[in-house]
Structure 1
Amino acid sequence: MITSCVETKREPHTFSAGDKTFLLDGNPFVIKAAEMHYTRIPAEYWEHRIKMCKALGMNTICIYAFWNIHEQKPGIFDFSGQNDIAEFCRLVQKNDMYIILRPGPYVCSEWEMGGLPWWLLKKDNIQLRTNDSYFLERTRLFMNKLGELLADKQVTRGGNIIMVQVENEYGAFAVDKGYMANIRNAVKDAGFTEIPLFQCDWSSTFQLNGLEDLLWTINFGTGANIDEQFKKLKEVRPNTPLMCSEFWSGWFDHWGRKHETRDAETMVLGIKDMLDRNISFSLYMTHGGTTFGHWGGANSPAYSAMCSSYDYDAPISEAGWATPKYYKLRELLMQYADSSQMIPDVPEAYPLINIPRFEVNQVAPLFQNLPEPKFSENIKPMEKFDQGWGAILYRTSLPKVTEGTTLLIDEVCDWAQIYVDGIFLGCMDRHYGQNTLLLPALREGAQLDILVEAMGRVNFGMAIHDRKGITQKVELLTDNGNQELKNWSVYCFPVDYSFAKSKKYIMENKLDNPAYYRATFKLDKVGDVFLNMETWGKGMVWVNGKNIGRFWRIGPQQTLFMPGCWLKVGQNEIIIFDILGPNKAVVEGLKEPILDDLSAEVSTTHRTEGQNLNLQIEKPIATGVLKQGNGWQEVLFDKAMKGRYFCLLALDAQNGGNEAAIAEFYLLGEDGKPLPRQHWKIIYADSESTCDGNFTADKIYDLQESTYWKTSKEDKYPHQFIIAMQDEVMISGFRILPRVEECCPGMIKHYKAYVKSVPFEF
């Protein structure tokens, strides 16, 4: 049961930006902020996690406000229970800590659509994160609601909010100071006028949209060259307080990729370096928690959905445990405690339980439990049927199909299974750009079913305009021409517990087709537990009405965190929606999570066994030498060349070692501007390090400056990668960003560049 914190009136204070330092009541103050998100922590556990942060040595909690969880339908706001952000702030103040509020409207955070509501996409021509009148109108309404709840919690009014952020890393999205000014005004008009407003960005982008009346802060991760990160900011604002508003303690996990970790010692040394220079910081994340339900987002390019666990390799684990990383950091922060700061003992973790293996033997086959259909002549995305999340089934009758006909689904968002007359023919995965399937000969009138699961809307970059289902058309491709399929019956499968509960369940062990599964299990005592889903296929889990997240057999996550506060002594209910079907319909509860177990069938690298690129027959468009040092470099060719395939050949490294590494890479068009990368594919990379992390070649265009391609230590130069683009384009050069660490490990020296209209030979 959630009990509200009694709010007591406190004395007002002042908080401001002084000369190279923040000032609390006129005295120098270093912000030591712990980022965590109320949405990713059971409300019953909020205060425990706050106390964990205080015992770590932090003085502030940094939080996003997630617009889309508060306004799931237009005009209907929910700030109660698990969504009670004001109560969370009260609990932080009860524990004598401050709040940095980050209300967006866009927040990223590996969260569905970066926190923007899905229903914005019902408007055909909506332009998110721009001066689009409808977007700004809805943003203002949300900001005003936040202001009603939180403006009185500014530190100047006796509350504990000391700073409010305007937008989020906008320089990585666009250049539009007018838009930033509109969002700033919306924040001010909501009542946040008495404390500093700030905007955060990367060191390479912070000046693109910087407003003169806002504080500027920089985001970067562990291992970064801190001098280099703040160099430009100190040049343009020599007297500003310095702050790393996101110091990344770890990283987030994607389905089908190795679990991410970051070195604890490197993190601690980076924080010490900042504290020694009077630089404030917010540790993103200090406690990641869990992205319960359907709220996980995705990155693009290439489309890659997030796991439910948001453990983040943070100092406080997903289940709220103090990790070795926690104790290393606590030891440091105790040495830098404020004179008035009392660092309490570390709270005990919540108790754990095991749940013996039990069978899930009630089944409701999806195709025998269809909801009422909706009819549409043309294919439309999920949003057009007023559906935000879940799965959607498109059904139509086929004309006579001859053998060799190709089914084209344009575009699959995000994971589709294709059936004809109830027989499974194949699947399509957006991550791999799959959208065609070769059909057998089929009779006229055969029933085509396309079941599409929405895996999470893109949360970063221009691809946030991410409609779900099938977004454009379905065609049959033959030698005689193309035929678009029409007249669809559409069935919507939302993620609501009531929808899953209402199915007609029968006693059955398991099915190979999509189905809902149900069982009950008894407990003598409750505690936190990790539900083992290793034998299941792909889908979602509800326990006692709570949607605890997604599972997918490809890993790396194989367990789901089940908070003990949501379990009951006695009988408990579990419902599992499995779109693939389980190998065994059993569940057990473990005391340890499984977060790094990839399926053997998943390949993350971009080179087949024995494949070797042949460049001896190719003529380079450019050869040259890159400069040593952090930051972007630009290379312009003597002339632009048309092509669809680009290869970079790295001949040696600046430090003479074996490894090559690139953080980000752009090709330049004929006008010298970066070309879009949304439909890029890495079709070859000679070496990729995957044993010690996710250093595959697609990291060069994942929009993240702190992630990078790195070759294996044992593989010697030369190194190569090939980019395939969707269409032929004019290429005039490239931009390259080395790793952000000091000395730029793996920085390439001599190179050759190749451009071709036809594929390279192997």
Structure 2
Amino acid sequence: MSDFTIGESEFLLDGEPFRILSGALHYFRVHPESWADRIEKARLMGLNTIETYVPWNAHSPQRGVFDTEGMLDLGRFLRQVAEAGMYAIVRPGPYICGEWDNGGLPAWLFREPGVGIRRYERRYLAAVEEYLQQVLRIVRPLQVDQGGPVLLVQVENEYGAFGDDQTYLKALVEVTRGAGISVPLVTVDQPVPDMLEAGGLDGVLRTGSFGSRSAERLRTLRDHQPTGPLMCMEFWDGWFDQWGGPHHTTGVEEAAAELDSLLASGASVNIYMFHGGTNFGLTSGANDKGVYRPTVTSYDYDAPLDEAGNPTAKYHAFREVISRYAPVPDTVPSPAAPAPEYCVTLGEPVRLLADPGLWGGWSDHDSLPSLDDLGARLALFRTDLDVEGPAVLSVGEVRDRALVFLDGDPVGVLDREHHDRAIMLPRGRGRLELVVEDQGRVNYGPRIGESKGLVGPVRLGTQPLTDWSVCVIDLDLVPRLWDSVSADDPGPGPTAWRATFTADQAADHFLRTDAWGKGFAWVNGFCLGRYWRRGPQETLFVPGPVVQAGHNELVMLELDTLADPAACFVSGPALGPLEL
């Protein structure tokens, strides 16, 4: 057991000055069989601490549920940090941002009208307390004063960019302390005076988030934190990507120079990210500052370890900088070998529109329900039309993408990013089908928590459409479709395909996707995430622990058009052009 406290100008570990050299590593973005490898590589870079967010919505997809299996086993992750001889920082939110779906807030929070998100409001705080009690029950025995690795726990996240409800922040501190957390608490905000004041709390250490002008930012932080250690809780060494944009990188020399400036000041640091990992499944978020921009599947972040956990030039540059201020191990990680390269043929197509009931359950509705009402991320909406001649189909708002079919034939796409609200149908009679996709919930700003699906009335001309049949598509069922259905002929509409491939060993793979349209892919039932031809991302990372030596199965759900029914694995990642 150790004593970790906040001194007059430094952190103190058992009474001695201690500088935190931390790296962000999100357990929920890395396969659990790879955690130990990534933690060890952090140690070899010279870091002494690992930081992680905790995603409320992943642990609690429904209220009353708190899942800690597999990639969500926070306790196992923290114990592995300790086994590596390192310390930990836990940032449970409840809001985390992190380019994560809904900023980590569960969608079910928003279903009760008037719930006061991220403020002092009874119903919201009751849900937050339930969540924090569950998280901190795991963290409590793993604090440094209990013999564990956890040095710090963060309260909220960049709250000054959102609100200024000090009563709310105080309530979070009370819940945290009441749950048995005795290590120091911190807040984090961008080093802007208004944000530091609104998001900070007296008695709780303020920290900053920035990636440039370190000396200036630290001076601003010191103005609002007169005593105690200075710390950059998020030293941004890269950035995230959005579909349709470029792949973001930062210069290695420039990033290393900023880290050097930060450490020369005597400050502690958490490098965000040390290793970004992957937004597996449907976990990536989005931004909407007038234009909706969903985040890609890769969370490579141009970090010292790339998406597959391999050291980059930035790793070695940061290691050299750290060696000027702290001892670093003599050993460095070995360079990665190229991943296996081969192609397989995709076959056995199963079309959604041919028999949607095989993909999920039907329900009938007088008016159009939202995806939230249905608990769905992808759904088929069907109704019959009976109007003379061509007609305009209009929607109040599309969140986020709707494929439009008439009598099984594709008509077009309504896309939120383009602010699409209407489409011309060639005729007003027939079976109208809309395949509606949630592309990721906004994770930053005032549009957090908004409902998904088709919002507002759906009209044909001036008449509202009613009498809808809806099939919720169970994405977990897609890899198992062939257990109950025979293959179909390729045709219009979303189509599932599958292939088998043989691997010599359980090794990382990179699945090329730029020749496909838009959809999702699975290997051995594990959802790799979304792909989209518009890029920038052109490969999906397949973690080695998902691959088996010998026979493996690849499944993909193509929502648009598959020009060539083939799947190719390539030697390394392709994350797209640096400028458009």
TM range (shorter): over 0.9
Q: Secondary structure at the match of 2:199?
A: coil
Counterpart for residue 560 of structure 1: 540
Q: Does 1:270 align with 2:258?
A: yes
Asked if 1 retains the 8 angstrom alpha-carbon contact of 2:341 and 2:571, the reply is: no
Task: Give the number of the structure with larger relative contact order, counting CA–CA contacts within 8 Å between residues 6 or more apart.
Answer: 2
Counterparts of 1:520 and 1:127, CA distance in 2:
49
Q: Secondary structure at the match of 2:475?
A: coil
Deviation (angstroms), 1:413: 1.0
Superposed structure 1 runs of 4+ greater than 4 Å apart? 349-352, 503-510
Counterpart for residue 77 of structure 2: 88
Q: Does 1:386 align with 2:405?
A: no
Q: Does 1:397 align with 2:387?
A: no
Counterparts of 2:352 and 2:99, CA distance in 1:
30
Q: Does 1:420 align with 2:406?
A: yes
Q: 1:127 to 1:421 in 2, by over 3 A?
A: farther
Deviation (angstroms), 1:195: 1.1
Deviation (angstroms), 1:235: 2.3
Q: Secondary structure at the match of 2:275?
A: coil
Output the amino acid matched with 1:394.
Answer: F
RMSD: 1.7
Q: Which has the larger radius of gyration?
A: 1
Structure 2 gaps of 5+ residues are: none
Asked if 1 retains the 8 angstrom alpha-carbon contact of 2:351 and 2:488, the reply is: no
Output the amino acid matched with 1:392.
Answer: A
Which of 526, 530, 541 is 2:506 aligned to?
Answer: 526
Asked if 1 retains the 8 angstrom alpha-carbon contact of 2:188 and 2:200, the reply is: no
Which of 456, 459, 477 is 1:475 aligned to?
Answer: 459
Q: 1:176 to 1:526 in 2, by over 3 A?
A: same
Q: 1:76 to 1:238 in 2, by over 3 A?
A: closer
Asked if 2 retains the 8 angstrom alpha-carbon contact of 1:355 and 1:589, the reply is: yes
Which of 432, 441, 452 is 2:418 aligned to?
Answer: 432
Q: 1:532 to 1:511 in 2, by over 3 A?
A: farther
Asked if 2 retains the 8 angstrom alpha-carbon contact of 1:510 and 1:585, the reply is: no
Counterparts of 2:111 and 2:475, CA distance in 1:
19
How many residues are paired up? 573
Asked if 2 retains the 8 angstrom alpha-carbon contact of 1:360 and 1:509, the reply is: no
Counterpart for residue 13 of structure 2: 24
Q: C-alpha deviations, 1:408-454, integer Å up to 9, x for none?
A: 112211111111111211101111211211233323xx211111111
Output the amino acid matched with 1:418.
Answer: V
Counterpart for residue 216 of structure 1: 206
Deviation (angstroms), 1:486: 1.2
Counterparts of 2:278 and 2:547, CA distance in 1:
16
Deviation (angstroms), 1:693: 4.6
Which of 476, 480, 483 is 1:501 aligned to?
Answer: 480
Deviation (angstroms), 1:241: 1.3
Counterpart for residue 188 of structure 2: 200
Asked if 2 retains the 8 angstrom alpha-carbon contact of 1:334 and 1:343, the reply is: no
Deviation (angstroms), 1:41: 0.9
How do residues 264-663 of structure 1 correspond to structure 2 at under 5 angstroms? 264-301=252-289, 302-337=291-326, 341=327, 343-348=329-334, 352-371=338-357, 372-387=361-376, 389=377, 391-403=378-390, 405-443=391-429, 446-477=430-461, 482-496=462-476, 498-503=477-482, 506-507=486-487, 510-596=490-576
Deviation (angstroms), 1:484: 1.3
Asked if 2 retains the 8 angstrom alpha-carbon contact of 1:146 and 1:190, the reply is: no
Counterparts of 2:338 and 2:61, CA distance in 1:
33
Counterparts of 2:61 and 2:273, CA distance in 1:
25
Deviation (angstroms), 1:346: 2.1
Output the amino acid matched with 1:226.
Answer: S
Asked if 2 retains the 8 angstrom alpha-carbon contact of 1:353 and 1:526, the reply is: no
Q: C-alpha deviations, 1:144-189, integer Å up to 9, x for none?
A: 1112211011111111100000000111112211221222222222
Deviation (angstroms), 1:84: 0.9
Counterparts of 2:388 and 2:164, CA distance in 1:
50
Q: 1:236 to 1:521 in 2, by over 3 A?
A: closer
Output the amino acid matched with 2:226.
Answer: P
Asked if 2 retains the 8 angstrom alpha-carbon contact of 1:165 and 1:198, the reply is: yes
**Alignment TM-score, normalising by the size of structure 2:** 0.95
Output the amino acid matched with 1:395.
Answer: R
Counterpart for residue 254 of structure 1: 242
Q: 1:511 to 1:526 in 2, by over 3 A?
A: farther
Q: Secondary structure at the match of 2:321?
A: helix
Q: C-alpha deviations, 1:182-223, integer Å up to 9, x for none?
A: 22222222221x2110110111211113211111011112xx
Q: Secondary structure at the match of 1:398?
A: strand
Deviation (angstroms), 1:582: 0.8
Counterparts of 2:457 and 2:332, CA distance in 1:
56
Deviation (angstroms), 1:342: 5.2
Deviation (angstroms), 1:297: 0.6
Counterparts of 1:574 and 1:300, CA distance in 2:
33
Counterparts of 1:168 and 1:543, CA distance in 2:
34
**Relative to total residues, which structure has the larger helix share, 1 or 2?**
2
Deviation (angstroms), 1:369: 3.0
Q: Does 1:108 align with 2:88?
A: no
Asked if 1 retains the 8 angstrom alpha-carbon contact of 2:535 and 2:576, the reply is: yes
